[in-house]
Structure 1
Amino acid sequence: MLRVRVLFLMYAAGVLAVTVVPVRAFDYWGHVPWQAMIRWIPFVVDPLSMTLNVVMFLPFGVLIPLLWPAAGATATRIGWLALSASLSIELTQLLLDVTIGSRRTVDVNDLIANTGGALIGWWLLRLASRREALAG
């Protein structure tokens, strides 16, 4: 269990490093208003960006049920947790953009991809657990 906790902390630090920490105040966007950094339209996104966000949240769907079985007991629960975590990231990016002009894009597609990635991770964990139970 300690290994899973350490792995989760490393994963969380990695996600924060990719999504929040590279803050560049008043970067290359010039005089573009912060509102222009918000992407409201779903499924209008670069496929690579969507794929990377799915992959980034796959471990979330695996590690949360291993650490807190009740929290990851159902797809609905893990989906809501992933959506909440993703929304927290997006709101942090928005706050940094409005306050210091970090110019991070806030995208509804990130919410979709991150939640989907966590659900895929949860499903893969369930599949592996069933196979292990059948083999054992």
Structure 2
Amino acid sequence: MRPHYEITAYPVVIPLAVVVFTVLLWRLHRRGDLTVPRVLVSAVMCVYGAGVIGNTLFPIQFAAGSSPRWGSLNLVPLQNAEWDDILQNILVFIPLGMLLPLISRIRSAPRVLLVGFLVSLTVELLQYANAVLWNGGHVADVNDLLANTGGAPLGYGIYRGMLLLPAFRRRLPAGAGRPG
């Protein structure tokens, strides 16, 4: 039997989320923008990011003597597509589209679409690298890329709809997330 080693998500994503949250708090403090709503949005973004990383890139497996999994890539849209998986990937990126205008100056659907695409592309490339280099368990899939990319602007649309509600607008930190 070959020796097998595995890195699980928790020992990596929890410290990473804490470091990112600390950096965000430090930046807010330096800018004089450290408010409870901004701290809460930063915390939500860190938990969301940790969840996405933990569920899409882990576990990382090392198996001595195993061969690379070059076949862990699907570049043909809708080939072997499972509709529940597509829906899940759309849903996973909806929060990204809702949170981006709250934590950044990204306040247009095309920019949210671009960021959603780039984040999803990064995840899929890392999944493929994990499969090839360390025999990881995920398949890089163009269907995931397309579904994730579509989820981000859908989330942004939900966020823009929420802006129509005066109660939501009142709770936004000054200057945060309002279309400009």
Measured against the shorter chain, the TM-score band is 0.7 to 0.9
TM-score where L is the length of structure 1: 0.86
**Alignment partner, residue 12 of structure 2:** none
**Alignment partner, residue 103 of structure 2:** 67
SS across alignment from 2:49: helix
Structure 2 unpaired stretches of 5+? 1-37, 171-180
**Alignment partner, residue 112 of structure 1:** 146
Report the AA paired with residue 136 of structure 2: S
Q: 1:34, 1:103 within 8 Å by CA — same for their partners in 2?
A: no
The CA deviation at 1:100 is 1.0
Q: 1:25, 1:103 within 8 Å by CA — same for their partners in 2?
A: no
Q: 2:93, 2:149 within 8 Å by CA — same for their partners in 1?
A: yes
Encode CA deviations 1:63-119: one digit per residue, 9 max, x unaligned. 111111x22x11110000010000111111111111111142000011110011111
Of residues 43, 67, 73, the one that matches 1:38 is 73
CA distance in 1, matches of 2:84, 2:61: 23
Structure 1 unpaired stretches of 5+? none
**Alignment partner, residue 55 of structure 1:** 91
Structure scoring higher RCO (CA < 8 A, sep ≥ 6) equals 1
Q: How much identity, in percent, do the aligned residues show? A: 29
Of residues 38, 41, 50, the one that matches 1:4 is 41
* Higher helix residue share: 1
CA distance in 2, matches of 1:129, 1:53: 25
Q: 1:38, 1:107 within 8 Å by CA — same for their partners in 2?
A: yes
TM-score where L is the length of structure 2: 0.66
